[in-house]
Structure 1
Amino acid sequence: MLPERYESKRVCVSARNYAPLETRGDARENIRNTLILFDPDPKHSFSSESGFVKRPSSPPSALRSPGSSQSRFQVDPVADAPKTPPGSRSSAGEESKSRVRAVNFLNPSDAAPDAGVNGDTVRSEASLHSSSHFSDTHSSTYYLRTFGHNTVDAVPNIDFYRQTAAPLGEKLLRPSLSELHDELDKVCAALHHHLSFRVTHTAVSDDACAQIRCMLNIWGVMLFIRMSWIVGQAGIALSCAIVLTAIVVTSITGLSTSAIATNGFVRGGGAYYLISRSLGPEFGGSIGLIFAFANAVAVAMYVVGFAETVVELLDSIDALMTDEINDIRIVGTLTVILLLGISLAGMEWEAKAQIVLLVILVAAICNYFIGSFIPLKSKEPQGFFGYNAAIMMENMGPDFRDDETFFSVFAIFFPAATGILAGANISGDLADPQLAIPKGTLLAILITGVVYIAVAISNGSCIVRDATGDDNDTLVGSLENCTDAACTLGYDFSICKEGGCKYGLQNDFQVMSLVSGFGPLITAGIFSATLSSALASLVSAPKVFQALCKDKLYPGMHVFAKGYGKNKEPLRAYVLTFIIGLAFILIAELNIIAPIISNFFLASYALINFSVFHASLANSPGWRPSFKYYNKWVSLAGAVLCCVVMFVINWWAALFTNVIVLALYIYVSYKKPDVNWGSSTQALMYNQALTHSLHLTGVEDHIKNFRPQCLVMSGYPNSRPALLYLVHAFTKDVGLMVCGHVRTGYRRPNYKDMMNEQVRYQRWLLKTRIKAFYTPVFADDLRQGAQYLLQTTGLGRLKPNTLVFGFKNNWRDGEMKDVETYINTIHDAFDLQFGVVLLRLKEGLDISHIQDEFQTSQEKPPGMKDLLVSINIKDFDSDSSKPSSKSTSCQSSPLIFRDTKKPPMQLSPADEKLLAASQQFQKKQSKGTIDVWWLFDDGGLTLLIPYLLTNKKKWRDCKIRVFIGGKINRIDHDRRAMAALLISIHTTKNYSLTYKKMFEEMIEPYRLKEDDMEQEAAEKLKAKEPWRITDNELELYRAKSNRQIRLNELLKEYSSIANLIVITMPLARKGTVSSALYMTWLDTLTKDLPPILLVRGNHQSVLTFYS
C-alpha cells in the first residue's frame, strides 16, 4: 500500500484533445494497482507543471520502466506527490519500488455527479451492481471511465488476478461475461452481492531480510567449531571439494527456488508452499511434514553446538556442573527456552535480534582472518604457526581417522549449507518475496560459500593437524626422525601419533578461537552463529507446519493451524517445535544429530529441483517465471545429485527417508484432498492425456482391444442409481462411461444453469467414486438429444460404442409419442453402429420423484442408507469430505449423501421397494448365477458383459450360466460347442394360453383395427399415429410375438432366482414394425423377472479365440 501522503493523477489520454490533469484524493483509495494503458502515439505524455497533455520528443522519466522488474510484463509506475518540494525525490520514485502501480485513465468532463472525492476508485463488488448502471453509455459507471467513454467493462487490473485471500491487496471481481452480454432484465435478476477480501499483512520493510536470514542460517555452528576438524580429516583439497559439492547442490536448488518464487506471488509456508503449489498436495504434503521436522531438529543441532561451546568454556575454568554431556543438556534446555520466548515475542523482535547477531557474526569472521596474519610465539605449541607453505602442503591431502570417510565428513558438513530456504520459509513476512527470495538466496549462497572455502584454506595453511600444547616439545637434535611440517618450524609433535593430543585441526574444535586476534569475539561469533541459526529454524519450522496444517492434508493437524495476534503467529506450532527440538537436544551429540537432518534437507532440495523440471516439462502456460537463469535439465541434474548424495552419505537413512516420503505420498493420494492448486502434475497429466488421445486416433481397432464404452442415458446421475452402478461395475477400469442427460421442456435454454449443474454432478460422480463423465445437452425431445450425444460425445478413440437405457416401465400410462421417441432413439443407435443395452427392474429405476418429495418434506426415508439431500455447489467447496445435512440448493436436482439425524418420511410400499431395488447393485452380490440367454449372435457383447461383471469383487461369487436356442436334434453338437446348458425353444407352440391372452390384452389399445373403419380413415389414422399396430403387421410377426411369450415363460422357469439375467435383445426392422408392437415385445419378454439386461451388439466381433 502507498503512504497516506501519496496522491494520484487522473489523466485523459487522447490523440487529438488536451485534457487537464485532476488530482483526486488519497492514493490508498485511488490507486488499485491498475495496469497502465498508454496511447499508441509515443509523443503523448504528461506534464505535471502545466497540468495538460503535451507532445514532447520522449516520455518523461516518471513514465519509463523502473528497471529490473520481476514481472513478466512491463508495467510502468506513475504517481506524484503534489506537496513534494522541487528538486526533492518524487513520490513516483518511491512508488516505483512497488511491483505494479499505475493510474486510471479518465476524462474529467465525464465525471459522475456522485463520484465525490474518490470518483476514480476501482470499486469492489459490493458497490458495482446497482440497478441504475447497465447501459454502456450511462453518465456514471461502476468500474472506470476509459478513454473518455463510459463503460461497464473493466480495464486491466492486477487485483482481478489475485487469489481470494491474497496477502498483498484486495480481491476484486471483474464484471462477468453474463453481466456484459445478457439482457438487462437478466442481469438485474442475476446480480448478487460478492465479497471482496482484504487480508491484513505486516511485511518486513527491508527486502534484504531474506539474504540476512539465509546467511545467518548458513553460517551456523559448523563454521566455527567443525570446519577446522573437516580440514584436518579431509585436507584442504577435499574440504574445498566438500564445500563446492554443497554449493553446487544449493546453487541449483537456489535457482529452482528462484524460478518457483517468481512464477507468482508466494505466501507463507516456505519450501512446503513452493513444492505443494508446484507438484501438488501429494509431494507437497509429504515433503512439508519432513521439512518442518528437519527444521525442528535443526534447532537442536544449533543449540547443541552453542551448548558445547559454553561447556568447553566452563571446563576451561573448571566450573562444570556435572559432566560434559549432562551440562550440554542443561545449557541446551535453558537456551531453547530463551529462544522460544524471543520467537513468541513476534517477528519484529526476532528480526531485530537477527540483525544484531549478524553484526557480531561478521565481526567474528573478520576477527579470525585478522588473527591468522598475526602469529604469536605463545600459540605455536598449540599448532598455530601462521601461513606456511610446508603446513599447507602437508594439510593438502586427507588424513581420515576414527573410521571417517569423505562422505561421512560431507554428511557432517552439509547441514552447514542447508540454510538456503530460510528466506523462503518466511515468504509470508517479506514485502516482495518475488524479488527478495531470488536475490537474497543466491547472494547468500555466493558469500557464504566464498567464506567457507576461505576458512578451509586458511585453517589448512597455518595450523598443523596435531599438537601437544606443551612448550617443552621444541625440537632438539637431528631432523632425521621428524618429517612433519612442525619439525621444520622447531617442534616435535610425533608423540601425537600415539594419540592423546588435545590441540591441532584433528583434536581441537576451538581452533578458530585460538587463531583469532581476540578470542572472546570468536566465542561471541559462535554464540551468534548458533543462536541465529537456531532462532531462524525455530521460526521457520512452525510457519511451514502451520501452512501445512491449514491445507488439512492430514487428519488431526488442523489444531496447529490456528494463528494468534495480528500476524497470525502459530503459537501451538512453536510449542510443538520446542518439544521436538528439546527431545533431540537431550542426545547432546552434534555428530549424531547432523546426519539425521542432512537426508531430510536433501529430500526437500531434490523435490524443489524436480518440481521445476516437472513444471517445465509439462509446458503449461501457467509456468512463466520471470527469473530466467534456470534450466529444466540442470534442475533435473540437481534432483538426481541430491538423491545420489543422500544414498552416498548413508544408504539406510536415505532409504528410510524415501520410505517415509512414499508412505505420506500414498496416504495423500488415497485420501484425495479437495484442493486445486494448478500444479504441474495436473498440467503434465493433461499433456499426457492429449498426447495419448492423439496417438490413439492413428491406431486401428482390433478385436482383442475392444472395450465397452457406454453412453448411459441416466438423466441426473443420482436419479437412476441402479442403472449407474451396474454399468459402472463392468466399465470400471475397463472402458469409458458417459452419463448423458437430455434437458427438454425449456422455453429458452438456460445454458448457465446447465454448466453449473455439469460441474456439480461431475463432482458428485467423483465423490461417489463412479468413474464416469456427465454430459448434459438441451434438445426438443429425447430423440434429438440422444442424437446429439451419439454423434458428438467422446474424443477420438475415447468415444462411446454402446448406448445404455433404462426400460420405460410406464410406457402404457403416458403418451404414445414418448414411446415413439424412445423406440426411434434405439433405431438411431443401431443406425450409428452402436450396441444397445436396456436394463429393467420390475420395481423401476427412476427415484427422482422420491427425491422431490424428500426435498419438500426435508425428511429421511426409512431404510435408506444413502440419504438424498439437495445441496448447493458451495457446500462441496467448503468441505467435500464432510457431507452437508442442509438442503440449501436453489437447484431442483438432489444429490446422494450419507445419513443424517432427520426424522423419517413416510413412503408408500411401492416406493420403499423402489428404493431398496435402486441400491441392490451397490452392495456385494450373494452367491448365485448370472444367466446368459445368448439367443442370437450379436458379435459377443452378450457374453462379454457378464464376464466383465464377474471380474469385479462385488460379482465374484456369481457363476455364469449360458443358455442358447437351437433344434432338438443338435443338442449334443451344440452342447460340445458351447459347453453350457442347452434349452430347446419352440417358437410356435407350447406357450401358455394365459400368457397369450395377456399379450393380446396388452396390444389391444394400440391396434389400428382397420377392419372396423373405412380404408381412407384407416390410412389417415395410421399416418397421424404411426405407432399403431395393423392387422397385417400383427399376423406377419405373429411367430416373433409368440417367441417373446415363450421366452418369458422359460426365463421364469429357469432364471427366476438369478442375480441377473442377460439376454439378447430382439430386433425390430425399422419401418415395418410399429413402435407399439416393438415395445410390447420388450415388455412381454422382460415382465415379472429379476433384474434383466437386454443386450444387442452392433454385430462386430468383440471376442476372439486367437492370442
Structure 2
Amino acid sequence: MSVRRISKKFSVQSVEASELKGAKFSLLGESTEAYAGIPTEVVDEDIEAEDEDNTQLNLFEEDDKTLPPMSNWFGKLAAYTGGIEPTVGETKQLKEKQTKSSDNKRLGTILGVFLPCCQNIFGILLFVRVGWITGVAGAFQTFLIVLLCCSCTMLTALSMSAIATNGKVPAGGSYFMISRSIGPAFGGAVGILFYLGTTIASAMYLVGAVEVFLKYICPQASLFGDITSDAALFNNTRVYGTILLFTVMCCVFMGIRFVSRFAAVSLAAVLISILCVYLGVFTVNPSRSPYVCALGGRLLSQDFITVNGTAQCHKNTTGPIYEAYCNNPEIATEESCAFFNANNISYFPAMPGLTSQKFFENFFESHYREKGKAYDNIDFPADRKYGQGSNIADVTSSFMLLLGIYFPSVTGIMAGSNRSGDLTNPQKSIPMGTILAITMTSLVYLSSPLLFAAICDGSVMRDKFGESYGGILLVAAFAWPHFWVILIGSCLSTIGAGLQSLTGAPRLLQAIAQDNVMPFLDVFKVITKRGEPLRAQLLCYGIAQLGILIASIDYLTPLITMFFLMCYGFVNLATMLNGFLKEPSWRPRFRFYHWFLSFVGLCLCIALMFISSWYYTIVAWALAFAIYKYIEFRGASKEWGDATRGLQMSTAKEAILKLGNKPIHTKNWRPQILVYLPLDENFQARHDRLLDLVYQLKAGHGLTLVASILEGDIIDRRNDMIAAKAHLSDLIQEHRIKGLAEVLVASTIDEGMKNMAQCAGLGNLRHNTLMVSYPEDWRVDCKSSGSKLSKFISTLRAAQACDIAMLVPKGIDSFPLSKGNQMIGNVDVWCIVHDGGLLLLTSYLLMRNRVWRKCHLRIFVVATEEDDIVNLKKDMTKFLYDLRINASVEVVAMSTADISAYVAQRTASIEQRRALLMQMKISTVEARCDPQLIVDQHRKPSSADINPADIVKSNCSIDSHKLLPAISATSTESSDQSPDHATNVTNTSSSDSASKEDTKPSNLKPDTESNDKPISNHSHHCTVSFATGSNVAVSESDKSTNPKENDANSELNRGINEFTFSPSNPLTKLVQKAAREAGSKEEHLLNKAHPGRISSFSCIQTDTVSVFS
C-alpha cells in the first residue's frame, strides 16, 4: 500500500503550517536496495524537487523521498538490461539506430541466428578432415567422436539459452552473458581464452584455405618444391597464409559493413557446397568415380603410375611400377622386387557407390598409427619412392587425438548471440535459432562418416590428400555436379569464417578491456571515429600470424579445442550454479533446461579436454588460473550479481548451519578478532597501527571484523555511517587484511561497544577476542563520566560479560609497520597468571609474520621464593615442547608481597570482612560505600587509578562490580607507580545531615607527599573484628587538647585498615573506650602484656576515604 501525496492547498487561516510541518507516514516494507532481484540501477533516484511554496502546505510528506513514483519506476524497469551492456564501439551505432525507425531491427530467427550459426559451424574440417578421420578411426568410432562433440555443443546451447533468456540481451555478445553469469574473475579468464580461441581459429581457417589452394586447386604454385613433402607444404603455407592474412585484415580494417556483405557470399558458398556433397553421395557410381591402383592392398600414387598422361597399373616390365621396384638401380632392392612379385596389382573405383559391403568393412576397423608408420600391417616398409606416400601416417593418430582435431568443426554456436543487438526478439530467436542450427549441423556431421564409410574404400579415405586418385579432395571427388564446386565453395567459406573470426575477436578484446577487469588491457579500449577497435585488431593480427607460422591444421585444432571447451564448460557451470542454487533473480524464459544437464555438459567438456590432450589441458587451466588470480588481486572490483557470489553465500550458509552452536574444540580454536578502530570527525582512523598488528596476526586464520562506532541516531547519521564504512573498507584493503568492516551508530560509545561485543559474528564465527587500544591519556579529565577511562572500563566490563578475550596493546602508535623492516631482538612473554595460553598464542602468531620472524621468543615465568625454580623451568620447557613452540624459558623469583595482587591469599580476609558487615547490620548503602571492601573484593596490582566518576552515585549507591575493570585496567600502569600511593574516591554523604548538602568531589591525584598527613577531617566509622568473632564500632573522639587523643584521631583519619594493638599505639585507647562502651568481652584482650593482632579493622569515611594499596 502506498501513500498518495495530496496536492490540494489549504488556507493558512484554517490550517497552520506549523501543524502540518513534520507530519509524515512511513512506508513500511519498501526498500531501494532491490526489487524482486532487480539491481538498484533500475530505481530512479533523481526525483524532481517540489516548489518551496508548496512544501509547507502539503498535508503529508513522504518519509523517504528517494523512492520513485511507480510510473518512473516501470519506465526504468522496461529498459533493464540485466547487466549486459554493449561495447563502446557499438554504443554510437545503437544511438543512431534508436533515432531511426524500429523497422531496421528486422532480423528474425532464421536470418539473425540460424544461418550465422550454420555458417560458423560448417567449417573447413568437414571438407578436408572428416573423410580421413573416418578412414583411420572407422565409422563407429568416428560416429562416437561426432556424437560426443555434438552432445557437448547441444548441452552448452541449452545452458546458453537459459542465460540469454534470463533478462534482456542487447548487443555485446556471448562474453557479456558469460561474465555477468559467473563473475568478473571467471568471466575475464574465460573471455581471454575465448578471445584466444577465436583468434587462433581464424588462423586455422586461413591455413585450411591455403591447403585447399595448394593441394587441390593449384599445386603448381608451390614455391618450395614438391608439395607432397611436409617441409615444402609448411613453408608454402606460411608464405601464402601470411599474404592471405594481410588481405583479410585489410578487409577487416575497411569496416563491419564490408565484412557483412562478404558474409552473405560465404554463407551461400558453404550451403551450396554441402548440398552438392549430399547429392554426390547418392549419385556416385563407378562411372563417375576416379580409379585407384593398388599393389598388394597398398595404394600407389597417381603421379607414380602415370606416364605421358596415361595411368599404367600393370606388372609389365615396361611399366613404371616394375621399373621402380625391380629395375631402377637407385631405388630397387631385393626386398622391393620380392614384394612386387609376391602381390597382385588391382585397379578399381575409389567410390563405387552406396554398398552395405563397404559400410560393414569400414564400420569397426580402425588404423591408429604413429607418425611415419604404414596404415596396413604389411611387413614391407612403405616409402614414397615406391609411390606409397598415401599409405603413410603423417601425424600420430588415436581416438583422443582425432577427437581434439575434430572438435573445432562443431564450434561457432555463439554466433547468434553475438548478433543479439540486431534481433527483433533475442530471447526468442537465440534459443530457437541456436538449437535448430546445432540440430541440423549435427545431423550432417553424424551422417557424414556413415555415408563416407558406405561409398568409399577404407584405404582411399586414409589417403588424406588424395594422392592415389589425382590429388583431388575426397568430398570433391564424388560431389555433384563437379568437384570444382566443392573446391571453390570450401575455399570461399573458409575465408569467410576467418574473416568473421578476425572481425569478432577484436571487439571481444575491446569489450573485456572496457569492463576494467584487467588493467593491462586498458590500452585496447581506444576506438577510431568509425567505432573500430584498431589496437585490438592489430593485436589479433599478430596472434593470427603466429598461428599461420604453425602452418598445420592438425597442430592448431588441439589449441582451439582447449579454449572453446573452457568457454563452453564455464557456460554450463554458470547455468548449473544458478539452477541448483535457485537464486531469486534466476527466472529464464527458456524452460527446456535443468541444472543436471548443465552439470553433464560441464563434465563432458572437462572429459573432452583431457581426452584430446592432457598437457594442453593443463596449460589451458594454468593460463585460466593465472588470469583469474590476476583479476582477483589487481583487477577492478565489480559486482554483477553472478552465480559465483550466490555459490559463496550458499556455501557459507551451509557451513555456518553445519557448525551450529556446538562448542569449539581446543584444536579448532582460533582468534576471531573484533577490532575497535575509533574514527575522528573526518572519519580518519586514530590508531590505524592496530590494523598492522591485526595483519601480523593473520597466521591465526580467524575472521577479522574492523568496527567503529558513531554517536548519534541511525536516521540522522545514515550517510555518515556509509562514508565511515567505505573508509574502513579502504583501510582494510590498504593494510591487506582479509576481514570485514562494520560501523555501528549508537547513542553512546559505551552502548555501541556493548552491542558490538554481543552481536558481532554469527554462530561459531562469533568473535572471541576484542582488540582495543590502551587509553594513553586517561588521566586527562578522568572524573568525567564520558572520559576515555570510563569508556575503556566499560569496554572491559562488556568483554568480561560476553566471555571474550581482550587484547589491549599499549603504545600502539609506535608499533612496527607491516611493510616496514624486519625486527631483530627478543619477544618477551611474562607469565604471571594463567590466561589460557592467549599470550603464548599471540606471540607465536606474531613470530610467524615476516616482521618478527628474526626475533627470539623468551618466556619469563614469575614464581615465589618458596617454589621449586628448577623443576618449574623443566615443566615449562616440556610444556612448550609439547605445544611445538620454540622459546627460551626464564624463571623469575619474586616475593609474595610483590605479586600479592596476582594471588588469592586475601580471600579469607575478604570473606571475614563481609561477614562482619552482616553482623553489624550495616545498610546496603553503607556497604556499597566501603571502598576497601570493593577493592579487596576485586583485588588487582594497584587500585590507585580508580576512576572516581565510576563510583559517584547519589545516596552512596556504588556498584561494586563496576570497579572490577577499573582496577584490572590499571595493572600495567601501576607497575610504574609507588605501591604506597593513594587515589581519592569521592562520594556523597550517606548520613542524614550530609545528604541535605551538596558535597563537591575532591581533586583526584596520588598522595605523593606523606602518608602521615590526614587526608580529611571528616568523621570516620570504623569496625574492629576480634579473633573470637566479636565486633566493635569505633569513632573518632571530639577535638580536645589531649595530645594523645589528637594523635589517635589523626591516626584514625589516615583510614588505615590494619594495625597492631599495643599500649604505645594511640588508637588503642579509642578501641578500649569503644569496647568498654559496647560492653564487649574482648576489652581485656587489649590490656594484655603482650601485643596482639586482631582479625580485621575497617573504616568507612562518610565523604572522602583514602584507599591504600
**TM-score, normalising length from structure 1?**
0.63
- Counting only pairs closer than 5 Å after superposition, residues 149-548 of structure 1 correspond to structure 2 as 154-155=73-74, 157-159=76-78, 161-162=80-81, 166-167=85-86, 205-207=106-108, 208-266=111-169, 270-312=173-215, 314-315=217-218, 318=220, 320=222, 323=225, 324=227, 325=233, 326-375=235-284, 377=287, 379-381=289-291, 383-400=350-367, 401=375, 402=393, 403-427=396-420, 430=423, 432-465=425-458, 502-503=467-468, 508-548=472-512
Checking the alignment, whether the CA contact within 8 Å between 1:256 and 1:630 is kept in structure 2 is yes
Indicate the residue corresponding to 1:625 in structure 2. 588
- Does 2:654 match 1:671? no
- Does 2:577 match 1:611? no
Indicate the residue corresponding to 1:471 in structure 2. none
Which of 943, 963, 985 is the aligned partner of 2:894? Answer: 985
Identity over aligned pairs, percent: 27
Structure 2 CA distance for aligned equivalents of residues 708 and 358 of structure 1:
65
Amino acid at match of 1:407: M
Indicate the residue corresponding to 1:923 in structure 2. 820
Task: Classify 1:503/1:981 alpha carbon distance in 2 versus 1 (closer, same or farther; 3 Å).
Answer: same
Indicate the residue corresponding to 1:800 in structure 2. 767
Task: Classify 1:615/1:443 alpha carbon distance in 2 versus 1 (closer, same or farther; 3 Å).
Answer: same
SS in 2 for 1:957: coil
Indicate the residue corresponding to 1:969 in structure 2. 866
Checking the alignment, whether the CA contact within 8 Å between 1:262 and 1:434 is kept in structure 2 is yes
Task: Classify 1:988/1:644 alpha carbon distance in 2 versus 1 (closer, same or farther; 3 Å).
Answer: closer
Shift of 1:312: 3.6
Amino acid at match of 1:963: F
Structure 1 CA distance for aligned equivalents of residues 557 and 855 of structure 2:
59
Shift of 1:964: 3.3
- Does 2:471 match 1:573? no
Structure 2 CA distance for aligned equivalents of residues 1075 and 372 of structure 1:
95
- Counting only pairs closer than 5 Å after superposition, residues 935-1014 of structure 1 correspond to structure 2 as 935-972=832-869, 973-979=871-877, 980-986=889-895, 988=897
Amino acid at match of 1:206: L
Checking the alignment, whether the CA contact within 8 Å between 2:416 and 2:434 is kept in structure 1 is yes
* Equivalent pairs, count: 780
Structure 1: tracts of 5 or more residues without a match: 1-71, 74-121, 143-148, 170-195, 469-495, 846-913, 992-1018, 1046-1067, 1089-1107
Per-residue Cα deviation, 1:699-718 (whole angstroms, up to 9, x for no partner): 22333333233333221383
Structure 1 CA distance for aligned equivalents of residues 263 and 576 of structure 2:
34
Task: Classify 1:339/1:134 alpha carbon distance in 2 versus 1 (closer, same or farther; 3 Å).
Answer: farther
Structure with larger Rg: 2
SS in 2 for 1:461: helix
Structure 1 CA distance for aligned equivalents of residues 261 and 724 of structure 2:
54
Checking the alignment, whether the CA contact within 8 Å between 2:124 and 2:409 is kept in structure 1 is yes
SS in 2 for 1:797: helix
Structure 2 CA distance for aligned equivalents of residues 790 and 123 of structure 1:
36
Checking the alignment, whether the CA contact within 8 Å between 1:224 and 1:526 is kept in structure 2 is yes
Indicate the residue corresponding to 2:808 in structure 1. 838
- Counting only pairs closer than 5 Å after superposition, residues 690-701 of structure 1 correspond to structure 2 as 690-701=653-664
Which of 753, 756, 762 is the aligned partner of 1:786? Answer: 753
Name the Cα RMSD after superposition. Answer: 4.3
Structure 2 CA distance for aligned equivalents of residues 975 and 525 of structure 1:
91
Indicate the residue corresponding to 1:734 in structure 2. 701
Which of 704, 720, 730 is the aligned partner of 1:753? Answer: 720
Structure 1 CA distance for aligned equivalents of residues 714 and 123 of structure 2:
74
- Counting only pairs closer than 5 Å after superposition, residues 638-717 of structure 1 correspond to structure 2 as 638-671=601-634, 673-716=636-679
Per-residue Cα deviation, 1:340-370 (whole angstroms, up to 9, x for no partner): 2333333333223222322232222223333
Structure 2 CA distance for aligned equivalents of residues 255 and 300 of structure 1:
29
Task: Classify 1:806/1:134 alpha carbon distance in 2 versus 1 (closer, same or farther; 3 Å).
Answer: farther
Structure 2 CA distance for aligned equivalents of residues 369 and 726 of structure 1:
75
- Does 2:51 match 1:128? no
Structure 1 CA distance for aligned equivalents of residues 280 and 678 of structure 2:
85
Indicate the residue corresponding to 1:26 in structure 2. none
Per-residue Cα deviation, 1:677-697 (whole angstroms, up to 9, x for no partner): 222221111111111111222
Amino acid at match of 2:263: Q
Checking the alignment, whether the CA contact within 8 Å between 2:173 and 2:417 is kept in structure 1 is yes
Task: Classify 1:1031/1:413 alpha carbon distance in 2 versus 1 (closer, same or farther; 3 Å).
Answer: closer
- Does 2:678 match 1:720? no
Structure 2 CA distance for aligned equivalents of residues 918 and 209 of structure 1:
65
Structure 1 CA distance for aligned equivalents of residues 94 and 443 of structure 2:
43
Amino acid at match of 2:244: T
Amino acid at match of 2:540: T
Higher relative contact order (CA 8 A, sep 6+): 2
- Counting only pairs closer than 5 Å after superposition, residues 881-892 of structure 1 correspond to structure 2 as none
Task: Classify 1:375/1:1079 alpha carbon distance in 2 versus 1 (closer, same or farther; 3 Å).
Answer: closer
Checking the alignment, whether the CA contact within 8 Å between 2:671 and 2:700 is kept in structure 1 is no
SS in 2 for 1:228: helix
Task: Classify 1:427/1:971 alpha carbon distance in 2 versus 1 (closer, same or farther; 3 Å).
Answer: farther
Amino acid at match of 2:555: I
Task: Classify 1:238/1:723 alpha carbon distance in 2 versus 1 (closer, same or farther; 3 Å).
Answer: closer
- Counting only pairs closer than 5 Å after superposition, residues 1025-1036 of structure 1 correspond to structure 2 as none
| Comparing 802-811 and 154-163, the one that deviates more | 154-163
Task: Classify 1:974/1:1070 alpha carbon distance in 2 versus 1 (closer, same or farther; 3 Å).
Answer: farther
Shift of 1:445: 0.8
Shift of 1:421: 2.4
Task: Classify 1:205/1:943 alpha carbon distance in 2 versus 1 (closer, same or farther; 3 Å).
Answer: same
Checking the alignment, whether the CA contact within 8 Å between 1:368 and 1:513 is kept in structure 2 is no
- Does 2:973 match 1:1083? yes
Per-residue Cα deviation, 1:251-300 (whole angstroms, up to 9, x for no partner): 11111221222223446664443333222233322232222112111112
Amino acid at match of 1:305: G
Per-residue Cα deviation, 1:765-813 (whole angstroms, up to 9, x for no partner): 1342123333322233222221111222221121122333222222222
Structure 1 CA distance for aligned equivalents of residues 534 and 733 of structure 2:
37
Structure 2 CA distance for aligned equivalents of residues 787 and 593 of structure 1:
66
Indicate the residue corresponding to 1:550 in structure 2. 514
Which of 772, 776, 786 is the aligned partner of 1:809? Answer: 776
SS in 1 for 2:528: coil
Shift of 1:661: 2.5
Shift of 1:1044: 8.8
Indicate the residue corresponding to 2:526 in structure 1. 562
Amino acid at match of 1:255: L
Shift of 1:375: 4.3
